[in-house]
A and B are shown apart, each in its own frame.
Chain A
Amino acid sequence: MTYVRKDAATLTGTEKRRFVNALLEVKRRGEYDEFVRMHIAYNAADGERGLRAAHMTPSFLPWHRRLLLDLENALRRVDSSVTIPYWDWTRDRTTTSAPWTADLMGGNGRRSDRQVTTGPFAHREGNWPIRVGVTDEGFLTRDLGRRSDPIDLPTKSDLDWALKDPAYDVSPWDSTVARGFRNKLEGWGPGRGRASWRNHNRVHRWVGGAMLGAAAVNDPVFWLHHAFVDLQWHRWQRRHRRAAYLPAAPPARDDAQHGRVVARHEKLPPWDVTPGELEDVGRIYRYA
């Protein structure tokens, strides 16, 4: 039976409590840190050799969709009523709005060391030790809005700019493409200035702390952010009904991207699934 992913701002107190408790239990079981490790491991960038499955690549969307499904399955093994809520950062735009409340994600990090001290993931609660990461901090960190040099979250018009692009992605399928829904949503700009972090990337930067690095999964808001990104893929599909994931076929042998991106019917590492098989998940879940 399909389940529903809800807007975090609309969850009832019970729904929030059950989601948080499931996260804490998945963490306690040691399963959560495997998700952190996996996201760190899939850090390949497009100026290097090798296959890119997760970032700067067409499969950015299906890779994260599948990651979310795996986490959601782990949560639902703990509590079958739980689904991943999404954070609509075009609406909930302040450091005290949803999802930054004490009954969900907790609030901003404190100024001195950016340590999150409120909510269920605060270090002093003892339930959210940071064991896997790029730095040796043992606690969750945030710097919402980047206090030293404030930035804004992306707006609805920023998202719309991505959604109206009729092409899923375009060659050379990397972070340099100026067209295509995927990169406009992922958010790699021309490399300098504010244009270099848009939509998805800009939200990571706005949250700051753990969310800024390759170990972003350490902040549970990662899932709420990526559920909203995933919802955009669904919205884009509804807006461009005849469009599909690209590339449809692997780049040719003489193409510089040969062997470096995942085509529609190729296996998406590390799973035994293709981007094409992840395009329609309407039988698994839907968004409210």
Chain B
Amino acid sequence: MIISRRGAPVGAGGGTPDAAPPGPADRTRRDLARGLRACALAALAPALAAFRPAHPRPGTGFDVTHGGRRIRGVRTSGSGAFEDGRWHVTVDGRPLHLMRRADGTWLSMVDHYCSYPTPLEAARAAVDVLGPGVRLRAAQAADRHEGGMHDVRA
């Protein structure tokens, strides 16, 4: 990935002159490095994932241990623009509801204000912010009022 001096991936802002937010002078190189690590080192994730033995058939599912938690994801087939696949992801056996952004990235009910390139990265990020011993609720709260689906279609 080519990084501009401001830290935004080059070309990431859609090309308009003010597409990137200002880079205040008080933000240091260290902040920049942290920021890039954070939401998404994830940019490298698809490439790295291909080398993980725990990722048997790329794109069809995963079963990994991360931070002492078992993360499993199963992709099933679908049809139509929003249904070329659907993911059912669990953390220690409890369902983790994932949502998909229009740019193709993923977010979860646990880490809801940031998105990641793959369902697995979104699930890892959710695990990273779960407190020790904390589990997902068996039923992740209320019914959905929008969209009307409980599984996310990819």
A residues with a Cβ closer than 8 A to B are: 36-38, 40-54, 56, 112-114, 132-137, 141, 143, 149-152, 155, 157-158, 160-161, 164-165, 172, 174-176, 178-179, 184, 187-202, 204-205, 208, 212-216, 269-270
Interface size of B as a range: 35 or more
Closest 8 CB pairs of A and B: A194-B35, A47-B100, A50-B147, A178-B14, A44-B146, A45-B99, A192-B40, A190-B12
Whether A42 pairs with B145 at a CB distance below 8 angstroms is yes
- In the bound complex, residues from chain B placing their C-beta under 8 Å from that of A199 are 21
Whether B105 pairs with A191 at a CB distance below 8 angstroms is yes
- In the bound complex, residues from chain A placing their C-beta under 8 Å from that of B39 are 192-194, 196-197
Q: How many angstroms from the CA of A141 to the CA of B132 in the assembled complex? A: 12
Q: How many angstroms from the CA of A178 to the CA of B19 in the assembled complex? A: 5
In the complex, whether B36 has a CB less than 8 A from a CB of chain A is yes
Whether A184 pairs with B14 at a CB distance below 8 angstroms is no
Whether B21 pairs with A135 at a CB distance below 8 angstroms is no
In the complex, whether B48 has a CB less than 8 A from a CB of chain A is no
Interface-forming stretch among B50-58, B65-73, B113-121? Answer: B113-121
Select one of A36, A47, A132 contacting B102, CB under 8 A. A47
In the complex, whether B134 has a CB less than 8 A from a CB of chain A is yes
- In the bound complex, residues from chain A placing their C-beta under 8 Å from that of B38 are 149, 151, 194
- In the bound complex, residues from chain B placing their C-beta under 8 Å from that of A178 are 13-16, 19
Distance between B6 CB and nearest chain A CB, rounded to angstroms = 9
- In the bound complex, residues from chain A placing their C-beta under 8 Å from that of B130 are 135
Whether B129 pairs with A197 at a CB distance below 8 angstroms is no
13 contacts between A and B (CB under 8 A): A48-B82, A48-B147, A52-B146, A135-B130, A136-B134, A149-B34, A152-B31, A160-B22, A189-B13, A191-B40, A194-B39, A196-B115, A208-B129
Q: How many angstroms from the CA of A274 to the CA of B22 in the assembled complex? A: 33
Whether A191 pairs with B112 at a CB distance below 8 angstroms is no
- In the bound complex, residues from chain B placing their C-beta under 8 Å from that of A208 are 129
- In the bound complex, residues from chain A placing their C-beta under 8 Å from that of B113 are 187, 197, 200-202, 204-205, 212
In the complex, whether B144 has a CB less than 8 A from a CB of chain A is yes
Whether B129 pairs with A196 at a CB distance below 8 angstroms is no
Q: How many angstroms from the CA of A41 to the CA of B97 in the assembled complex? A: 12
In the complex, whether B63 has a CB less than 8 A from a CB of chain A is no
Question: Of B20, B27, B102, B103, which is in contact with the most chain A CB atoms at under 10 Å from its CB?
Answer: B102
Which residue on chain A has the smallest CB distance to residue B34?
A: A149
Q: How many angstroms from the CA of A265 to the CA of B117 in the assembled complex? A: 35
- In the bound complex, residues from chain B placing their C-beta under 8 Å from that of A45 are 99-102, 107
Whether A175 pairs with B102 at a CB distance below 8 angstroms is yes
Whether B112 pairs with A43 at a CB distance below 8 angstroms is yes
Whether B101 pairs with A191 at a CB distance below 8 angstroms is yes
Distance between B30 CB and nearest chain A CB, rounded to angstroms = 9
Whether B8 pairs with A179 at a CB distance below 8 angstroms is no
Distance between B128 CB and nearest chain A CB, rounded to angstroms = 9
Select one of B21, B43, B142 contacting A184, CB under 8 A. B21
Distance between B89 CB and nearest chain A CB, rounded to angstroms = 13
Q: How many angstroms from the CA of A132 to the CA of B140 in the assembled complex? A: 9
Distance between B44 CB and nearest chain A CB, rounded to angstroms = 10
- In the bound complex, residues from chain A placing their C-beta under 8 Å from that of B13 are 178, 189-190, 195
Additional A-B contact list (11), CB under 8 Å, known A47-B100, A214-B141: A41-B142, A42-B146, A48-B147, A50-B147, A134-B141, A178-B19, A187-B113, A190-B9, A192-B40, A195-B20, A205-B114
Distance between A238 CB and nearest chain B CB, rounded to angstroms = 20
Q: How many angstroms from the CA of A43 to the CA of B148 in the assembled complex? A: 11
